[in-house]
């Protein structure tokens, strides 16, 4: 709300000519419920000592401290140099009320008279400021935004889905409203306007935003049959049509929060005369952030590519059983949508955005752009399924794939609660890596700007592929935290082999019956243990895992009891980075209590794989069910595993993001 002085320039000019003009007439508009200040000192002739105020129509007069002034009684100008006018009702005719101001000298002689013709209009801009799905009238905190259960401020979705299936554009790329399906993705505002259809001559009602905000939103007059935008990119202001009724406006977001956009959208309604704002009403929206879902949320659908040579046919059938046990749907993607790109996890991350009364799944598309490049827009983008990506002029590296992006379950760290978990992505350590790689800045900026999941960076550049899902994941657990962190452990791998050798099983084979392109993959327990170079490399790789372990403990407030180690081994590539030695069990798919785990092909004693036995021993007491799936040929030989080759859409959080307390945002 803006309280203003009445026509300052004109009033000063009138004062200069007061000696020549003993009677002056003005006209103006009063906005219902909005106080208007008038400087009597500016209107008064120089010898004025007293003033008499007379009103007609429903206009009240107050002093600066809020006391009502009674009319037709002389009052001292020294005591009342300013007055405030207030109209509680709107006019049904132009200039149907007035204020007469008579100035007198010490002797009560009239010096001059000012006649102010007034028109009362009722106008304000309203939003769903308390986030209950209803647009309140003149909510006192509509021009502010506050997080929390008792917070306030409206929420705005980025309209990034596609409600018309044959359209080639996202809804946010269109410049008109396309129908009822599109409207549900909008937020709404109401311009409360009553009384006169047409404002007095010279007055206009404008809706406006600044130039940066205009890039981020589109506003439509929902009753406009053409449905074209009032405000949007390149259009910062719009004149509101003449009407004596409330006006419903639809608003959509075009941009998620990012490094150059904090997500706050300010919109102003102004009463304007001669290009000068006489009154303004302001509202604030916050654009809903993109939220990623952790493994602890229930799965809805699992996506996997069906490779053209049939190499993953048996894998898919085994995966189908696990997905079915978790009451989810397996969605098999045909060749034309993946071009034999098997790394489904690397191409996308599926999250969501939410506003009161509406939720939209949103796929974050990585900049890797290989065979699955068309999959997100062709398969996923649709009704209530949005799309967002971040591109860069710099070439994407392996660290820009989304096997390198995870999110923890909800945690509390040093008294700060993160009800949506924390985003985790892999980066580098320049003091260790000679040719460092890091996730693109545009991606990192996007993740940090969402705020709600408070990202942090760990060290993945020690890996050839460079993805954090090669050494960590989360599973549900009946513990205080509700989950366990699983970490790859070369020490556990060697512990199991050392035990077998001590028991006289040094001749037992790992990777038995499997092949590399160069020949058989078989290797004995003793051969692994006697490979000093392999042992030395894995000692170094374990140090990197341990460094990450400490960061994860600190950033997620984990104790050693919250961490479970799974045996894993790596071997050095040409650049000195790590590649997996055998199928990496930590790279699993988590579907409720069901775990789809890469079959490790470890040493067998009495027909029992000792790696599988170890994993069952540490995970099944938690109520988890281990399903070991052979992914050797379709995934392991390509330097990936089950998690790399699949992607999961999950149920959203039950808590609303705007209800969180602002301790970390």
Q: How confident is the model at residue 69 (pLDDT cuts 50, 70, 90)?
A: confident
- Between 85-89, 330-334, 351-355, 417-421, the lowest mean confidence (pLDDT) is in 85-89
Say what the pLDDT of residue 165 is: 56
Domain 8-122, classified CATH 3.60.15.10, yes or no: no
Convert the pLDDT of each residue in 563-578 to its tens digit: 999 999 999 999 999 9
| β-strands 247-253, 187-194 pairing | antiparallel
Q: Which CATH class is domain 127-287?
A: mainly beta
Give the pLDDT score at 15: 42
pLDDT in tens, 347-391: 999 999 999 999 999 999 999 999 999 999 999 999 999 999 999
Q: Is the pLDDT of residue 334 over 90?
A: yes
pLDDT band at residue 278 using 50, 70 and 90 as cut-offs: confident
**Residue 108 clears pLDDT 80, i.e. is over it:** yes
Q: Where do the structural domains in the chain lie, given as residue ranges? A: 8-122, 127-287, 291-659
Least confident range from 21-30, 399-408, 548-557: namely 21-30
With beta carbons less than 8 A apart as the criterion, state whether 392 and 441 touch: yes
The answer to which of 48-57, 299-308, 518-527 has the lowest mean pLDDT is 48-57
Give the active site residues: 644
* CATH fold match for the domains 8-122 and 291-659: no
* Candidate from 14-18, 192-196, 417-421 with smallest mean pLDDT: 14-18
- What is the distance between the alpha carbons of residues 351 and 421, in angstroms, rounded to a whole number? 13
How far apart, in whole angstroms, are the C-alpha atoms of residue 580 and residue 587? Answer: 11
Q: What integer best gives the mean pLDDT of the chain?
A: 91
Beta strands of 128-255 (E only): which ranges? 154-156, 187-194, 203-208, 217-221, 229-231, 237-239, 247-253
Q: Locate tokens 């009239």: which residue?
A: 110
Q: Kindly tell me if the per-residue pLDDT of 76 is higher than 90.
A: no
Q: Give the DSSP letter string of 615-642.
A: HHHHHGGGT-EEEEE--TTTTGGGT--T
Write out pLDDT tens, residues 492-507.
999 999 999 999 999 9
pLDDT band at residue 13 using 50, 70 and 90 as cut-offs: very low
User: How far apart are alpha carbons 180 and 35 in whole angstroms?
Assistant: 40
The answer to whether 439 touches 425, Cβ cutoff 8 Å, is yes
**C-beta separation of 79 from 50 below 8 A:** no
Of 59 and 170, the one with more pLDDT: 59
Contacts of residue 193, defined as CB under 8 A and 6 or more positions apart, other chains included, come to 121, 122, 123, 205, 240, 243, 244, 245, 246, 247
Residues 528-544, mean pLDDT to the nearest whole number: 98
Token pair in block for residue 156: 């705005």
The answer to whether 229 and 238 are in contact (CB under 8 A) is no
Q: How far apart are alpha carbons 547 and 562 in whole angstroms?
A: 16
Q: How confident is the model at residue 180 (pLDDT cuts 50, 70, 90)?
A: low
pTM (predicted TM-score) = 0.90
Report the CATH number of the 291-659 domain.
3.75.10.10
Neighbours of 173 (CB within 10 A): 12
Output the CA angle 57-63-66, nearest 5 degrees: 95
**Which pLDDT score, from 0 to 100, does residue 16 have?**
42
**Please, what sign has the CA dihedral across residues 503, 506, 613, 605?**
negative
Calculate mean pLDDT across residues 280-297: 97
């Amino acid at each position: 709300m803006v309280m203003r002085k009445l026509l300052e320039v004109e009033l000063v000019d009138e004062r200069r000519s007061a000696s020549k003009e003993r009677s002056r007439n003005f006209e103006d508009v009063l906005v219902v419920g909005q106080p208007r200040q008038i400087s009597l000192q500016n209107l008064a002739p120089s010898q004025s000592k007293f003033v008499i105020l007379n009103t007609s129509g429903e206009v009240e007069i107050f002093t600066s401290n809020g006391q009502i002034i009674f009319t037709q009684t002389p009052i001292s100008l020294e005591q009342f140099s300013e007055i405030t006018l207030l109209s509680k009702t709107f006019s049904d005719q132009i200039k149907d009320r007035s204020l007469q101001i008579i100035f007198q000298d010490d002797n009560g002689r009239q010096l001059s008279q000012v006649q102010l013709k007034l028109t009362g209009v009722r106008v304000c801009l309203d939003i769903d400021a308390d986030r209950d799905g209803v647009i309140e009238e003149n909510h006192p905190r509509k021009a502010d935004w506050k997080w929390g259960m008792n917070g306030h401020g409206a929420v705005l979705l980025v309209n990034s889905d596609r409600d018309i299936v044959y359209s080639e554009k996202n809804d946010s790329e269109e410049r008109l409203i396309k129908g009822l399906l599109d409207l549900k993705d909008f937020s709404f505002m109401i311009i409360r306007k009553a009384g006169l259809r047409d404002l007095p001559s010279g007055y206009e009602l404008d809706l406006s935003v600044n130039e940066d905000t205009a890039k981020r939103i589109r506003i439509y007059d929902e009753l406009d049959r053409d449905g074209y935008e009032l405000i949007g990119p390149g259009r910062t202001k719009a004149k509101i049509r003449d009407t004596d009724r409330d006006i419903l406006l639809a608003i959509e977001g075009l941009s998620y929060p990012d490094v150059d956009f904090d997500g706050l959208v300010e919109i102003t309604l102004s009463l304007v005369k001669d290009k000068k704002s006489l009154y303004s009403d302001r509202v604030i929206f916050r654009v809903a952030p993109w939220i990623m879902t952790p493994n602890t949320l229930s799965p809805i659908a699992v996506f996997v590519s069906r490779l053209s040579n049939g190499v993953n046919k048996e894998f898919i059938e085994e995966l189908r059983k696990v997905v079915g046990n978790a009451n989810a749907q397996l969605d098999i993607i045909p060749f034309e949508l993946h071009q034999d790109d098997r790394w489904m996890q690397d191409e996308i991350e599926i999250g969501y955005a939410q506003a009161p009364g509406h939720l939209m799944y949103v796929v974050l598309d990585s900049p890797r752009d290989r065979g699955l490049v068309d999959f997100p827009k062709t398969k996923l983008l649709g009704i209530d399924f949005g799309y967002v990506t971040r591109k860069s002029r710099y070439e994407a590296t392996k660290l820009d794939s989304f096997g390198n992006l995870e999110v923890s379950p909800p945690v509390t760290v040093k008294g700060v609660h993160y009800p949506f978990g924390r985003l985790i992505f892999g980066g580098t350590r320049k003091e260790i890596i000679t040719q460092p790689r890091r996730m693109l800045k545009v991606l990192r900026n996007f993740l940090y700007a969402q705020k709600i999941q408070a990202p942090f960076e760990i060290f993945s550049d020690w890996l050839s592929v460079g993805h954090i899902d090669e050494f960590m994941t989360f599973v549900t657990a009946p513990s205080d935290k509700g989950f366990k962190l699983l970490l790859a452990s070369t020490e556990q791998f060697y512990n199991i082999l050392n035990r077998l050798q001590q028991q006289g099983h040094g001749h037992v084979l790992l990777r038995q019956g499997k092949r590399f392109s160069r020949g058989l993959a078989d290797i004995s327990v003793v051969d692994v243990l006697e490979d000093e170079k392999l042992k030395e490399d894995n000692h170094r790789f374990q140090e990197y895992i341990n460094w990450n372990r400490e960061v994860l403990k600190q950033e997620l407030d984990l104790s050693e009891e919250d961490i479970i180690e799974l045996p894993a081994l790596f071997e050095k590539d040409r650049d000195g980075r790590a590649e997996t030695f055998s199928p990496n069990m930590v790279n699993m798919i988590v579907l409720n209590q069901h775990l789809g785990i890469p079959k490790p092909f470890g040493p067998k004693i009495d027909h029992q794989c000792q790696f599988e036995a170890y994993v069952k021993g540490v995970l099944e007491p938690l109520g988890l069910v281990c399903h070991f799936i052979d992914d050797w040929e379709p995934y392991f030989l390509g330097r990936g595993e089950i998690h790399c080759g699949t992607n999961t859409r999950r149920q959203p959080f039950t808590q609303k993001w705007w209800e969180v307390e602002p301790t970390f945002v």
